[in-house]
Amino acid sequence: MIVYPCTNFTLMQKLTQARMIYPKIKKELDKLADKKQAINLQRFFKTGKGQYGAGDKFLGIKVPFQRIVAKKYYRETTPRDLNKLINSPYHEYRLTGLIILTYKFPKADENEQKKMFEFYLKHTKRVNNWDLVDLSAPNIVGTWLLDKNREILYKLAKSKLLWDRRIAIISTFTFIRAKQFNDALKISDILLTDEHDLIHKAVGWMMREVGKRDKKVLVKYLSSRYKKMPRTMLRYAIEKFPEKERKRVLVETRQK
């Protein structure tokens, strides 16, 4: 009979338990699947040929239920589990993995946070729809970079990958909340002539958030740009303006 040292045996137990987490998450998510809801979500998230979510698969699970599953297992989830979730062909597995990451991140030490940040950047091709980006980018990328060099965001903003560009601008939401507007506006400039509607909406949204905190900053930014901005981006940016002011700006852009 082999007697293992207590520490090694405990470690073996932990590793064995860790290997079981992904199957548990998978089993719970599969139970929540709804075929009719899946069809609706595939349409909503534009999964048809040539659309931005082309080929994505859905189980048909609402986000609140995914949050319940994520909250139940996030403490035990390992990088191996997260890797399986984020690389799944199913949207809900990827989203649940990202939710778990956002739950783990604030409770981790700096070294662990760095690893999570690097894991995230390594898998941006799998953060491949606007909801996945919007839920995770500010909480992981933005939070990590809040007191660090932000050059990576400028590289992402110039990426050919749509999701990298959206991550770049949406990550600045964390800075905006801290009333740090400079990077959000600079990255908006990079994306000002972007061709994709999802970027128009994202940039306009971040501009609106700047304006909610300091309208003067937003007005100054828009003053030399609003006539050349995509209309959707502008509409989002000025959504909180008084109606008369908003209509005046939109009329002026029609006359350009």
> Nearest Cα to 132, choosing from 181, 175, 90, 194?
90
1 versus 110: which is more confidently predicted? 110
Residue 6 confidence (pLDDT): 46
- The whole-angstrom separation of Cα 127 and Cα 44 is 17
Quick: pLDDT tens for 29-40. 999 999 999 999
CATH topology of domain 22-107: Leucine-rich Repeat Variant (1.25.10)
Residue 256 confidence (pLDDT): 53
Quick: pLDDT tens for 86-144. 999 999 999 999 999 999 999 999 999 999 999 999 999 999 999 999 999 999 999 99
Pick the CATH number of 130-256 from 2.60.40.10, 1.25.10.90, 3.30.1490.20, 3.40.50.300: 1.25.10.90
Taking residue 158's Cβ as centre, other Cβ atoms within 10 Å add up to: 13
Task: Read off the pLDDT of each residue in 228-252 and give the average, rounded to a whole number.
Answer: 89
Residue 254 confidence (pLDDT): 67
Whether 55 and 129 have beta carbons less than 8 Å apart is answered as: no
Residue 211 confidence (pLDDT): 96
- The whole-angstrom separation of Cα 89 and Cα 72 is 22
Quick: pLDDT tens for 185-224. 999 999 999 999 999 999 999 999 999 999 999 999 999 9
pLDDT exceeds 70 at position 57: yes
Can you read off the two tokens belonging to residue 140? 């992981």
Taking residue 52's Cβ as centre, other Cβ atoms within 10 Å add up to: 17
Identify any residues that bridge with 90 across adjacent strands, giving them in sequence order. 57
Task: Read off the pLDDT of each residue in 44-65 and give the average, rounded to a whole number.
Answer: 96
Residue 16 confidence (pLDDT): 46
**For a pLDDT cut of 70, what percent of the chain falls above it?**
91
Can you read off the two tokens belonging to residue 34? 């709804």
Identify any residues that bridge with 57 across adjacent strands, giving them in sequence order. 90
Q: What is the mean pLDDT of the chain?
A: 92
Residue 3 confidence (pLDDT): 41
Task: Read off the pLDDT of each residue in 220-232 and give the average, rounded to a whole number.
Answer: 92
Residue 19 confidence (pLDDT): 63
Domain boundaries along the sequence of the chain: 22-107, 130-256
pLDDT exceeds 80 at position 177: yes
Same CATH fold assignment for domains 22-107 and 130-256: yes
pLDDT level of residue 249 (50, 70, 90 thresholds)? confident
Can you read off the two tokens belonging to residue 74? 């996030």
pLDDT exceeds 90 at position 158: yes
Residue 255 confidence (pLDDT): 57
